[in-house]
């Protein structure tokens, strides 16, 4: 089998359909950041994307970017540091994180936010503090529009003459005799669509294409949240009965192409669920956004069977998702009118579709959700008492400066059941974004960045830390891929 593979690769090496210095697989934040940096470093670059449209999960994301010492923190006088960010990430990751990667991420995260701004992306005036972060440090793209990142990055690729070929799926990484990755084997579904029509880089329609990478390949194929077979193999409890917020193309074939050439996998079974998954919608919709931006920051999470709170609503995603799953049924996120203010747009839309329901009194809300009589009123009274004090509650939740009681009717309720949201595990890379093999050596000619990699977030990721990380390591991967001397 191996001998056949070698003959095929050598044969193909003499029959490449096209060539370029750097090949990037995947057109999300990580891949496009890599493509831009590689091109700016003087390399010719081609991007391949399997879906009909660019952008992957980045396109549908909320556009929240976390970084210590970012411009918004400076404007608002929030004191933070790369060390505090690093420590928060390690705590959420249960210490499984690779500290060298986290240190690089923490050092360059704020630059990533500025870089995206320099490409034309604009932020809201808000600074959010999500669960597990010690201070507010998440800036958000205007209108929560992750697709603006993709627009900015594809526009820059266009300006730089980097073609992006959609409907091209990486089938296999091609290796040369020295085990160096020398190119890719792609399966093309229909006619190639590229943003340039340079005859040297244009590859026409067909079933299988072999493209040579004279310098390197950057793998940026994202996570595997939508790959039920692969994720169930890693974590059997996450079968098809558990929904996902991910786009349809978030599958594992890019990752497995690297595993087939002996790349080292990390933490594949640590799959993150989003605790704000709305039980009354598929995927990631307005219900989830309302829960994420209003309910968890300003409200409470209650088990309808008892009418009591079950967790620190500001804990990291893993702790909150575990708490809901432990009850065995959807739990109720509750917020009052004051707390709902931040997300009025989502609220209005969710009220129309009944994903969020409105109640004049807590008694009405409790009755509608079949909570034991009087239990919700008692829970909220206890919670409101705590908001005026300076001590942690029984879940370790500590009041913040602007913590508000739940006393401004109407009250809003949303049914929450976790969904697969993020896959922190993936390929082992070093701080230069080189993919490591099973003997802990870099695989020559292969780089990776973004959700296809593992090690940075360990057991679980903090909110807003994926996009920044994709940009930080995407840029590093692109710069280093372009710097590789051309192969023989």
When asked if residue 238 is in the footprint of ligand FAD (CB under 6 A), the reply is: no
Per DSSP, the three-state class of 56 is: helix
Q: Which is nearer to ligand FAD, 310 or 481 (CB)?
A: 481
The residue count for the chain: 488
Q: Which is nearer to ligand FAD, 255 or 331 (CB)?
A: 255
CA nearest neighbour of 337 among 326, 328, 348, 329: 348
Q: Please, which of residues 374-433 interact with ligand FAD by CB under 6 A?
A: 422
When asked if residue 170 is in the footprint of ligand FAD (CB under 6 A), the reply is: yes
Only one of the segments 19-27, 261-269, 356-364, 375-383 lies at the binding site for ligand FAD (rule: CB under 6 A); that segment is: 19-27
Whose tokens are 């893993």? That residue is 318
DSSP secondary structure of 255-317: HHHHHHTTBPEE-TT--EEETT-BTTSSSS-HHHHHIIIIIHHHSEEEETTTTEE-S-TTS-H
What is the nearest approach in angstroms of ligand FAD to the Cβ of residue 146? 6
Distance CA 485, CA 98 (A): 28
When asked if residue 166 is in the footprint of ligand FAD (CB under 6 A), the reply is: no
Q: Kindly name the residue from 156, 231, 309, 317 that is annotated as catalytic.
A: 317
What is the nearest approach in angstroms of ligand FAD to the Cβ of residue 421? 6
Q: Please indicate whether residue 317 is annotated as part of the active site.
A: yes
Pattern of binders to ligand FAD over 36-55, x per CB under 6 A? ------------xxxx---x
Q: Which is nearer to ligand FAD, 366 or 425 (CB)?
A: 425
CB atoms within 10 A of CB 145: 18
Angstrom CA distances, 147 to 70, 249, 354, stand at 21, 16, 27
Q: Which is nearer to ligand FAD, 31 or 136 (CB)?
A: 31
Helices 82-92 and 99-118, packing angle to 10 deg: 120
Tell me which residue has its CB nearest to ligand FAD.
Answer: 28
Question: Can you tell me which of 9, 21, 37, 62 binds ligand FAD, judged by CB under 6 A?
Answer: 62
Per DSSP, the three-state class of 124 is: coil
Q: Quick one: three-class SS letters along 369-410?
A: CCCCCCHHHHHHHHHHHHHCCCCCCCCCCCCCCCCCCCCCCC
What is the nearest approach in angstroms of ligand FAD to the Cβ of residue 336? 25
When asked if residue 455 is in the footprint of ligand FAD (CB under 6 A), the reply is: no
Q: How far from the centroid of its chain's Cα atoms is residue 301's Cα? A: 24
Only one of the segments 69-77, 355-363, 378-386, 459-467 lies at the binding site for ligand FAD (rule: CB under 6 A); that segment is: 459-467
When asked if residue 221 is in the footprint of ligand FAD (CB under 6 A), the reply is: yes
When asked if residue 58 is in the footprint of ligand FAD (CB under 6 A), the reply is: yes
When asked if residue 64 is in the footprint of ligand FAD (CB under 6 A), the reply is: yes
Question: Can you tell me which of 44, 61, 346, 480 binds ligand FAD, judged by CB under 6 A?
Answer: 61
Angstrom CA distances, 250 to 225, 247, 345, stand at 6, 6, 28
Question: Can you tell me which of 105, 270, 276, 284 binds ligand FAD, judged by CB under 6 A?
Answer: 284
Strand partners, 188: 168
Rounded to 5 degrees, what are φ and ψ at 482?
A: -70, -25
Q: Which is nearer to ligand FAD, 85 or 284 (CB)?
A: 284
What is the nearest approach in angstroms of ligand FAD to the Cβ of residue 366? 31
When asked if residue 451 is in the footprint of ligand FAD (CB under 6 A), the reply is: yes
Q: Which is nearer to ligand FAD, 248 or 389 (CB)?
A: 248
When asked if residue 443 is in the footprint of ligand FAD (CB under 6 A), the reply is: no
**Is residue 234 a contact partner of residue 425, using CB atoms and an 8 Å limit?**
yes
Furthest-apart CA pair in the chain: how many Å?
77
Distance CA 191, CA 205 (A): 4
What is the nearest approach in angstroms of ligand FAD to the Cβ of residue 288? 8
What is the nearest approach in angstroms of ligand FAD to the Cβ of residue 245? 4
464: left (phi over 0), alpha (psi -120 to 50) or beta: left
When asked if residue 347 is in the footprint of ligand FAD (CB under 6 A), the reply is: no
- Summarize the chain as % helix, strand, coil (round to 5): 35, 20, 40
Q: Which is nearer to ligand FAD, 303 or 343 (CB)?
A: 343
When asked if residue 70 is in the footprint of ligand FAD (CB under 6 A), the reply is: no
When asked if residue 276 is in the footprint of ligand FAD (CB under 6 A), the reply is: no
CA nearest neighbour of 205 among 226, 189, 229, 186: 189
Only one of the segments 248-256, 342-350, 359-367, 405-413 lies at the binding site for ligand FAD (rule: CB under 6 A); that segment is: 248-256
The sign of the torsion formed by the CA atoms of 59, 37, 152, 126 equals positive
Question: Rule CB under 6 A: which residues touch ligand FAD?
Answer: 25-31, 48-51, 55-58, 60-64, 169-170, 220-222, 245-246, 249-250, 253-254, 284, 422, 450-451, 464-467, 470
Residues marked as catalytic? 317
């Amino acid at each position: 089998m191996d001998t056949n593979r070698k003959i095929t690769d050598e044969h193909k090496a003499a029959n490449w359909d096209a060539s370029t210095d750097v090949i990037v697989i995947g057109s999300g934040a990580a891949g496009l950041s890599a493509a831009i940096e590689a091109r700016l470093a003087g390399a010719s670059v081609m991007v391949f994307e399997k879906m009909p449209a660019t952008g992957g999960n980045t396109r549908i994301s909320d556009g929240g970017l976390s970084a210590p010492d970012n411009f918004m923190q400076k404007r608002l006088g929030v004191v933070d540091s790369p060390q505090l960010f690093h420590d928060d990430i390690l705590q959420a990751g249960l210490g499984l994180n690779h500290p060298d990667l986290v240190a690089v991420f923490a050092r360059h995260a704020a630059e990533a936010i500025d870089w995206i701004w320099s490409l034309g992306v604009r932020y809201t005036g808000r600074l959010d503090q999500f669960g597990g972060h010690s201070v507010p440090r998440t800036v958000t793209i205007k209108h929560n529009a992750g697709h603006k990142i993709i627009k900015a990055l594809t526009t820059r690729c266009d300006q730089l003459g980097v073609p992006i070929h959609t409907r091209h799926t990486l089938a296999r990484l091609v290796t040369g005799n020295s085990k160096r990755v020398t190119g890719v084997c792609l399966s093309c579904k229909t006619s190639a669509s590229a943003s340039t029509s340079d005859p040297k880089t244009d590859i026409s329609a067909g079933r299988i294409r072999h493209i040579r990478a004279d310098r390197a390949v950057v793998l940026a194929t994202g996570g595997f949240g939508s790959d039920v077979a692969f994720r169930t193999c890693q974590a059997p409890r996450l079968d098809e009965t558990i929904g996902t917020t991910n786009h349809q193309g978030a599958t594992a074939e890019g990752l497995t192409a690297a595993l087939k050439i002996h790349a080292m996998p990390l933490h594949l079974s640590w799959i993150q669920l989003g605790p704000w998954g709305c039980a009354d919608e598929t995927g990631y919709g307005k219900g989830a956004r309302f829960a994420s931006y209003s309910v968890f920051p300003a409200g409470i999470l209650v088990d309808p069977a008892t009418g009591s709170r079950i967790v620190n609503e500001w804990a990291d995603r893993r702790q909150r998702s575990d708490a809901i799953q432990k009850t065995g049924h959807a739990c109720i996120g509750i917020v009052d009118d004051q707390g709902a203010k931040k997300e009025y747009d989502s609220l209005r839309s969710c009220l129309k579709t009944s994903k969020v329901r409105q109640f004049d009194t807590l008694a009405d809300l409790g009755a509608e959700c079949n909570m034991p009589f009087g239990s919700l009123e008692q829970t909220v009274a206890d919670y409101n008492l705590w908001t005026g004090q300076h001590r942690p509650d029984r879940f370790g939740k500590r009041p913040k400066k602007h913590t508000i009681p739940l006393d401004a009717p109407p009250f809003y309720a949303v049914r929450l059941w976790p969904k697969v949201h993020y896959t922190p595990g993936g390929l082992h890379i070093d701080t230069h974004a080189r993919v490591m093999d099973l003997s802990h050596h870099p695989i020559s000619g292969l780089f990776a960045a973004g959700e296809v990699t593992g090690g940075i977030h360990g057991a679980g990721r903090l909110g807003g830390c994926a996009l920044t990380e994709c940009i930080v390591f995407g840029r590093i991967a692109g710069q280093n891929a372009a710097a590789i001397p051309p192969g023989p």
